[in-house]
Chain A
Amino acid sequence: GAVVSQHPSWVICKSGTSVKIECRSLDFQATTMFWYRQFPKQSLMLMATSNEGSKATYEQGVEKDKFLINHASLTLSTLTVTSAHPEDSSFYICSARAVLGDRPYGYTFGSGTRLTVV
């Protein structure tokens, strides 16, 4: 089945530094990748949608200059949290959609990244 690999699984960084999270589709091509954020005991909130080769579409209230998304290839999308602050500490999850639009596979999720900013 479709597999999405997300790295790192956890990261601790100092306030003011930047952190990059990678999301790779291992056995299929993903024209679209999604980035979510989950606070404790809350739902998954969509942050942005990235299409390969074009600029990401950010949801309302998400700072595009703070959360930089790059989708340079059909198998890789990255989320960079720039100048991280403690309030950015959260669980970030990526999801990839297959080219053929097979919907159950199109929403395959990575294992998530726990970001802690100290």
Chain B
Amino acid sequence: DQQVKQNSPSLSVQEGRISILNCDYTNSMFDYFLWYKKYPAEGPTFLISISSIKDKNEDGRFTVFLNKSAKHLSLHIVPSQPGDSAVYFCAASAVANFGNEKLTFGTGTRLTIIP
């Protein structure tokens, strides 16, 4: 039962353009969402997060949008740079389980920035 889904396994974007990565979830108890960037043979690196009380959070080139009614979130990277090429995972957690809180990861999207 994949509660967090990233339906695009890969995405190619021209350098300088906007990269949009999408994520859908099914568990309505999720109330905190995170995006991670991962290179091969390395651990994930935290990028940005958003609480369910917000619909947008911005940090530099990264913006995350949350649509609770659609159970959908997206990560926008603009402008895209070659160093952004990596696998991006979205993850979700539920504060109701704080103390036993854990992350549920999506399947990942491989982003390739074309110079």
Q: Interface on A for B, CB 8 Å cutoff?
A: 4, 6, 9-10, 32, 34, 36, 42-46, 49, 57, 91, 93, 95, 97, 101, 103-104, 107-112, 114
Nearest CB in chain A: distance from B37 CB, A:
11
Choice from A57, A101, A103 contacting B49 with Cβ under 8 Å: A103
Q: Interface on B for A, CB 8 Å cutoff?
A: 32, 34, 36, 41-46, 49, 89, 91, 93, 98, 100-108
Q: Which residues of chain B come closer than 8 Å to A9, judged between CB atoms? A: 41
A-B contact count (CB 8 A): 57
Q: Which residues of chain B come closer than 8 Å to A6, judged between CB atoms? A: 43
Nearest CB in chain B: distance from A113 CB, A:
10
Q: How far is the CA of A42 from the CA of B109 in the complex (A)?
A: 10
Nearest CB in chain B: distance from A102 CB, A:
11
Choice from A4, A43, A110 contacting B107 with Cβ under 8 Å: A43
Write 12 A-B pairs (CB below 8 A) sorted by A numbering: A9-B41, A10-B41, A34-B103, A43-B107, A46-B105, A91-B41, A93-B44, A103-B34, A108-B46, A109-B44, A109-B46, A112-B43
